[in-house]
Structure 1
Amino acid sequence: MNRRYLVGLLLGIILSSASTFAQNVSMNSAPAGFQPAYVVGEDTFAIVNLPGVYIFPEMKFKNKKEQDNYYKLIRDVKRTLPYAKMVYSTLIETYEYMETLPNEKAKQQHLKRMEKEMFKEYKPQLRRLSYSQGKLLIKLIDRECNQSSYNLLKAYLGSFRAGFWNFFASMFGASLKSQYDPKGKDKVTERVVVLVENGLL
């Protein structure tokens, strides 16, 4: 069982049992830099948020090429993951903002303006990505947003424009319909992403 869930379960048991002694329980507020605590009778229980613990088997490489590919993957994930997370945050912000717009015409105008601004801001940076980094970015967008880049484009820009961009990507050996498979073919990538996200690589 994941240690984070185990700790959460234990804290839940402590807190639920503590609630049976409600008349004797008080919650201490804590100044900055200190942890809050529950006081149950004469006992004090600190409330501590523990980070997740991830344990992976040691990487074993068949040869130097495989090892080099792994370290290249680490470099590529560090390069592309921030863009995938940016796409996700932009998606959330765009959806929330579009909900406030009065009609479909206003929504389409906003999307065109946003598309133009994003091209202007990110095109120079994205052009510096290698083909393999571009393919990886497409998969990481699927990981962050839980749907393929093609589906995102289709939802916001329509089928025709999504098809155009997918055709454009295919000329470089990529597909916007690529799906992320963290337990299968992308298992090693998922390992690297988790370690990078937690500052362990």
Structure 2
Amino acid sequence: MKRWLNILIFISIVLLQHSLCKGQENKKNIGFLVPVCVYEGDTIPWIQLRDVYIFKPLNFKNDRERKEYYRLIYNVKKTLPISRKINQTIIETYEYLETLPDEKAKQKHIKRVEKGLKEQYSAQMKKLSFTQGKLLIKLVDRESNQTSYELVKAFMGPFKAGLYQAFAGLFGASLKKQYDAQGEDKLTERVVLLVENGQL
């Protein structure tokens, strides 16, 4: 009888140890490492919180104005990522061009970049509405601090810049349009800040 009791106790201990080990394996680390600072001998977690933008509430005169505002939010969410990609491509292209030895190599690279951009973005650009296209032109200026016309002129020359400007002019748009965050684009700037910050 004592022998069976010893075997039972032994099996119970083995099973208990096994379940404890399993419990520790399945236990997830609840929490994460953060930077700390030491203040008067105390270690304090240091977490940088993102900015929170607070604007005066909008008062819409009618339902049409409210719909236009929500349409602006939709258009910004659709075009802002494209303008960022364009800006990143501009920076990368410019930095790479600086490493090339002569003008011929630079022009060859620009033609490759232009072809690649057309292949990559033509389908996406065709899906943009006229309003989204005009907004994209302004957001490119916001992101790069240069109008679309200046960018095309710098990379592809004045002839192509003039050609693209004339083409945009046929549809009532302008590649020379600048982004005015304090003036006519004040509402757009508000939406952009809120979208960038994840508040919209």
TM range (shorter): 0.7 to 0.9
Determine the structure 1 residue equivalent to 2:165. Answer: 166
| TM-score in terms of structure 2 length | 0.82
Determine the structure 1 residue equivalent to 2:174. Answer: 175
Give the greater-gyration-radius structure (CA): 2
Determine the structure 2 residue equivalent to 1:37. Answer: 36
Relative CO higher for 1 or 2, CA cutoff 8 Å, sep ≥ 6? 2
Q: Which moved more, 1:39-48 or 1:149-158?
A: 39-48
Q: Which moved more, 1:97-106 or 1:130-139?
A: 97-106
2:89 partner letter: T
Choose between structure 1 and 2: higher helix proportion: 2
2:57 counterpart of 1:85: no
Determine the structure 2 residue equivalent to 1:17. Answer: none
2:155 counterpart of 1:156: yes
2:46 counterpart of 1:47: yes
Q: Provide runs of 4+ in structure 1 moved above 6 Å.
A: none
Q: What pairs with 1:117-128 in structure 2 (closer than 5 Å)?
A: 117-128=116-127
Point out where structure 1 has 5 or more consecutive residues left out of the alignment: 1-31
Secondary structure at 1:38 match in 2:
strand
2:64 counterpart of 1:65: yes
CA distance in 2, matches of 1:47, 1:137: 38
1:62 partner letter: K
Q: Which moved more, 1:44-53 or 1:84-93?
A: 44-53
**Alignment length, in residue pairs?**
170
Give me the identity figure in percent. Answer: 55
Q: CA RMSD in A?
A: 1.3
1:178 partner letter: K
CA distance in 2, matches of 1:193, 1:119: 26
| TM-score in terms of structure 1 length | 0.81
Question: How far does residue 100 in structure 1 lie from its aligned partner after superposition?
Answer: 1.4
